[in-house]
Structure 1
Amino acid sequence: MPPVPSVEKKPATYDVYESTLEPKYQERARSELNEESFRIEPAIARMREFIAKHPRIQRCRTDAIFLLRFLRYRKFNVDAACEVLERCLTALQVSPEFFTLDLENPMIERCMCVPLGQNSDGSMVFLIRVGSFDPATFEPEQVVRLNMLALETYVYDEVYQVTGITAVIDLHGMTLAHAGAITLPKLSVIMDSTHNYLGVRIQRIHLVRLPKIAATVVDLISKALSPKLQQRIKDYRRDPAIARMREFIAKHPRILRCRTDAIFLLGFLRYRKFNVEAACETLHSGPDRKI
């Protein structure tokens, strides 16, 4: 069993990094993350100096694999990596209800957040079953804590620092009670952690089995994400509908020119509550009100 990492901000000695990556992942780290062998030790040393001299950091891990988590997340921009680390440490103090990990959490055995293994791209796939939480007692903090526990289990495997994670979010069973528990302050914490201090590369987010009752909340959360993350969301409720609208446009004899980008078509689909035939009719005849 590996030793428990020290949280002394300025230890007498530091560990020396030795890569455990296979050549194919070393090459991927080089091409995608600007990771070169000559950059690694100087970057780690600068982060250790940042931690040692920071007046508000009282305790913090300084082992190489911990710091590489942030360096790889920010593609070896040391200043940006230090900023993410600082925000992460602040969040642990300000919002412990979201980020305190509990290995005895009974929800672990209920498989609310399950690691499914590697996909073909090498990233770790997590299944997150939001709708399985009891709506009477559901709190967003529960989901975040379980997700953080799963992430912390795997994020110090160098492969996943390089390849990132893929989230499959199963929303079957989600109700208005679930949605109502996601208040704006809590949503702000969740979005801020995703953008600013999670320290994990999110490669793809798959939304599956989304009930209509939860669509508005999911759309609101999606819009709050960064443009880069929005592009990585695959919503299986939308894709077939968009494809059918594109087919309608392509085959319509009287439509000579028309936008077919997803954002444009989603306007009609949302207006007609994802009734594709009605959305196509509205597109063809013109909306009778603002979309």
Structure 2
Amino acid sequence: MITTLYTICSASQMFRNIAFRAELDRHITPECEDQARILCGEVPAERNNKIEELRKMILERGECNPPRLDDVFLLRFLRARQCIPARAHRLMVRYCTFREQNPHLWRDVYWYGLARLGNVYEGVLYDRPDVGRLIIGRLGLYDPDKFSPDELIRGCLLLLEVGIMQPKLQVLGGTALVDCEGTTLKQMRQLTPSLVTQAMSVMGYAFPLRQIGVHIVNCSGLIEKLFFLFKRLAPADDLWKRVYFHGCDYTSLHR
């Protein structure tokens, strides 16, 4: 079983750990500075000019209304898009549009209430330049009778919104590992096109995160067919190229 690959922790403990690390790790280290140059195309001498160019683009074009315009906030969008202001601006527009279309995912979210997600988000492994931060979810532990699909998305957003405060996560990006072991038809009925579109948006299409890959394991042929159906409906074309189905083949996963 895939459980042997990682440490199990409760959702509430994981949220607390990530929030604590995010509060500590607000400043970029020399090692992270080098990684930002290699992975994100970030040149320290040009950083402020790029931020100002992005801010000016947002204000002049008026295509979005970001919740913030400070340097720290804008920099995470630049790092997610190779420090190219035009690409960061497109990401910002998608991020703001996603927030406007789905205010219920942010509004009145009780952080500790999400602890009842249990081990659906089972753990986080830190942090390699080739993988980034590995976030592990177990779809088979999702209980539709106890919480709604929206709460799954809120939990993922909580992990990312708090974690993305850290320069290290902004620079290294992340990889998602989704374990479908134990998934039932009742759970699969919750996987609507709307939910999958929201999930893909959170995973990188409309969120300032360098998404390295999404690996789906212990999945049946039916799950693969569903995802390929959703692929036609969801907009995240580039992100779909980084979604990998491994079935029960761990050799494929390890490669």
Note the 1:84-99 alignment, pairs <5 A: 84-99=91-106
Which of 200, 207, 222 is residue 191 of structure 1 equivalent to? Answer: 200
Question: Residues 70 and 199 of structure 1 are in contact (CA less than 8 Å); yes or no, is this contact kept in structure 2?
Answer: yes
Deviations 1:84-128 (A, max 9, x none): 112211211111234447233533241322442304437222121
Per-residue CA shift, 1:142-177, capped at 9, x if unaligned? 221110100111111001111111212121221112
> Which whole-Å CA distance do the structure 1 matches of 2:66 and 2:204 have between them?
24
Separation in 2 of the partners of 1:84 and 1:180?
A: 30
State how far apart, in whole Å, the 2-side matches of 1:80 and 1:100 are.
28
**Which one has a bigger Cα radius of gyration?**
1
* Residue 107 to residue 20, structure 1, CA distance change in 2 (3 Å): closer
From the superposition, tell whether residues 184 and 222 of structure 1 become closer, same or farther in structure 2 (CA, over 3 Å). closer
Residue type of the partner of 2:244?
I
Higher RCO, 1 vs 2 (CA within 8 Å, ≥6 residues apart): 2
Task: Specify every segment of 5 or more residues in structure 1 that has no aligned partner in the other structure, as ranges.
Answer: 1-18, 242-291
Question: Any residues of structure 2 matched to 1:170-249 within 5 Å, and which?
Answer: 170-194=179-203, 196-211=205-220, 214-221=223-230, 226=237, 229-231=240-242, 233=244, 235-238=246-249
Pairs aligned (count):
224
Aligned-CA RMSD value:
3.1
Which residue type is aligned with residue 199 of structure 1? P
Matched residue, 2:5: none
1:58–1:231 CA distance, 2 compared to 1 (3 A)? closer
| Residue in structure 1 matched with residue 134 of structure 2 by the alignment | 125
What secondary structure does 2:42 align onto?
coil
- Identity, in percent, stands at 21
CA contact (8 A) 1:176 1:214 kept: no
Instruction: Return the alpha-carbon distance in structure 2 between the equivalents of residues 141 and 75 of structure 1.
Output: 31
Pick the aligned partner of 2:49 from 37, 42, 46.
42
* Structure 2 portions without partners, runs of 5+: 1-25
Could you say what secondary structure the match of 1:76 adopts?
coil
- Residue 170 of structure 1 aligns with an amino acid whose one-letter code is D
Structure 2 Cα separation of the partners of residues 125 and 103 of structure 1? 24
**Structure 1 CA distance, aligned partners of 2:123 and 2:162?**
10
TM-score, normalised by the number of residues in structure 2: 0.73
Whether the 8 Å CA contact 1:170–1:207 is kept in 2: the answer is yes
Q: State the alpha-carbon separation in 2 of the partners of residues 220 and 24 from structure 1.
A: 42
